[in-house]
Amino acid sequence: MITEWWKGLQRLVYDRPLKADFLIHGRYKIKEVLGMGSYGITYIAVDIQTKEAIVLKQLRTTKAKTDSGLHSFQRESQMLKALQHQHVPKLLDEFQNEHGFFIAMEWINGDTFEDLIFRDQKTYSEEETIQLLVELLNIVENFHEKGIIHRDLRIPNIILRDGKLHIIDFGLACYVTDKEIQDPDDHPEKLRMREISVISDLFALGHFALFLLYSSYEPQSRKEKSWEEELDISQSLKTILRKMLQLDEPFHSVEKARTAITSI
């Protein structure tokens, strides 16, 4: 308890965000804080050379003092370099100065599915869910072909912009050859999502699909039931989701999952 309190105090003192209009690296003017994650602070900034809005990610000072924090931050830029995919932010710059470690990347100015579902009350049918799932599988397959596992395919990290899907936040991504280090005390769902295997990304996309399907769900009673009982979807899709969620023998490749989905 004391340790967590001390860590929280350290973050409050050392991990203060840069202020609006602050010019960093002689090029990027901070506009606002976009978000604060466990490892980094993300800003919307303006590149004064190109006049374009970009995303600037700063490694938390407290995390920069740890090997794991620094490695995770550096790995994100490595992943963006390796992918260079049209549905992934472009890496624009990376630098270090007296304010810490930074990555500059393309700003995917769209709506996350977290916003679409919870802010905009957007609903998705089974047909729409399948279509989006197939599109995401096509994108993620490219990651896997390059030996990269995203490990964080949640609704805040999947964006819809101008009708096209984009995947952001590669802070937890790793190569399939990386050594796996997990805390056995973590929640089973977290362990499955963080596993260094293609099935972890399929597991996350299974949960993504459930979020979409539940967006149009209206409870008929106060009794809590399983998703299979509550959701009015085809048996074929239930069978596929059970495999993606590792309730049954899982798919071991994107290709097999996509083949099953497109055959519905």
Closest by Cα among 259, 239, 258 to 249? 239
Judge contact between 61 and 77, C-beta under 8 A: no
Q: Please give the model's pTM, rounded to 2 decimal places.
A: 0.88
Domain ranges for the chain: 2-106, 111-262
Closest by Cα among 250, 130, 123 to 197? 250
In terms of residues, how long is the chain?
264
CATH 3.30.200.20 fits 2-106, yes or no: yes
3 state SS of 23: strand
Respond yes or no: is residue 152 known to be catalytic. yes
Q: What is the pLDDT along the chain (264 residues), one digit of tens a residue?
A: 445 444 544 555 467 899 999 999 999 999 999 988 777 899 999 999 999 999 999 998 887 778 777 887 888 899 999 998 999 999 999 999 999 999 999 999 999 999 999 999 999 999 999 999 999 999 999 999 999 999 999 999 999 999 999 999 998 899 999 876 665 556 667 677 778 899 999 999 999 999 999 999 988 777 888 999 999 999 999 999 999 999 999 999 999 999 999 998
For the record, the structure tokens of 43 come out as 């800003």
Closest by Cα among 99, 57, 61 to 76? 57
Q: The CATH number of 111-262 is which of 1.10.510.10, 2.40.128.120, 3.90.1150.10, 1.10.3720.10?
A: 1.10.510.10
- Quote the radius of gyration of the chain (alpha carbons, Å): 20
* Residue of 67, 115, 152, 183 marked active site: 152
Q: How much is the pLDDT for 5?
A: 46
Tell me the longest C-alpha to C-alpha distance in the chain. Answer: 59
